Amino acid sequence: MRLLKEKAGRTVMFILTVLPTLLLVLMFFGLFRKSRAILALKSFGGLLFSSGWHPLRGEFGLFPFLIGTLWVTAVALVIAVPISLLMAVYLSEYAPRGFRDFAKPLIDLLSGIPSVIFGVWGVLVIVPLVGRIAPLFGRYSSGYSVLAGGIVLAVMIFPTIIHVALEVFSAIPFPLREASLSLGATRWETTRHVVLRKGSQGIIAACVLGLSRALGETMAVLMVVGNVPAAPKSVFDAGYPLPALIANNYGEILSVPLYDSALMLAALVLFIVVQTFNILARWFLVRAERRAE
């Protein structure tokens, strides 16, 4: 009886274990199946690089949305990468233990805040701020812009980058640091020549993971970025990233022909791009691990 239970349990668990991998495959094919309807009519390249978005006339160019995504993500990375890396270095190399134990839960908390809350904060604080600083650069902006989206996104990906970077730094053996310090190097010199060099692969992985988080973030960006379907020319212009496009049009999804197919294609593109970056990051992490050993 007990052995029977053991066998049954084992089989059930084994079946469930195959599920996550299967889910990945299923997701790809599900989205692909849905987007076939539009791919049958137009070429993939043509859809990606044409810029006309007129669903009622049957034009579904994804180009402005791709550019919008790139802009917002680039702004977010420019802000988030240096700040989060500096904080990670501070926490792992400089900060006293007590402060580290105090700061880590706060970072977890920041990563737990729902994206809608980030959006509300963006609308309340960042959007007016951007509206006010735009004239300083001789431009008018309503505040709902790529810059606002980038700033909000940057805050959202802080925890991701910090978390991974901290893990990478903590994997670097202490004797290496001690060797450097005993040669008379200052803390910063040790950090730069030992910690950062040894952890370089891991740091790249952290940034790539932050990047893929940023690419897919939806609600917060949607709320502050302005949503004008044209490629932005400066950071003060409104943009319209890909996830925002998908989220914003769910209402009309079944009323216009091919619309759902076009949106599923957008989701598929997002899926593939994010996936590529994720796998890339994992690869860097594995290499980093091997290097640290």
Partner 1 sequence: MNKRRLVERFWKALMIASTAVVIGCLLFIVVTVIWKGLPALSLSMITRIPKGGYYLGKEGGILNAILGSLYLALGATALACVLSLPVVIFLNVYCRKRSRLAELTRFSFDVLWGIPSIVYGAFGFVLMVYFGMRTSLLAGIVTVALLEVPIMSRAIDEVIKLVPRELKEASYSLGATRLETSLKVIIRQCLPGILTGILIAFGRGIGDAASVLFTAGFTDRIPTSLGQPAATLPLAIFFQLGTPFPEVRQRAYASAAILTILILFISVLARVLSRRYTKHVIR
Q: Which is nearer to partner 1, 86 or 233 (CB)?
A: 86
Helix axis angle, 146-170 to 97-112, nearest 10°: 140
Alpha carbon distance 128, 58 (integer Å): 36
Q: Which is nearer to partner 1, 105 or 175 (CB)?
A: 105
Q: Which is nearer to partner 1, 13 or 136 (CB)?
A: 13
Q: Which is nearer to partner 1, 89 or 288 (CB)?
A: 89
Alpha carbon distance 194, 93 (integer Å): 11
Name the minimum Å distance from CB 138 to partner 1: 27
Q: Dihedral (C-alpha) 144, 147, 151, 157: value to the nearest 10 degrees?
A: 110
Helix or strand or coil: residue 62?
Answer: coil
Alpha carbon distance 120, 204 (integer Å): 31
Name the minimum Å distance from CB 177 to partner 1: 15
Question: Minimal CA–CA distance to 190: which of 204, 174, 206?
Answer: 174
Name the minimum Å distance from CB 147 to partner 1: 16
Name the minimum Å distance from CB 290 to partner 1: 14
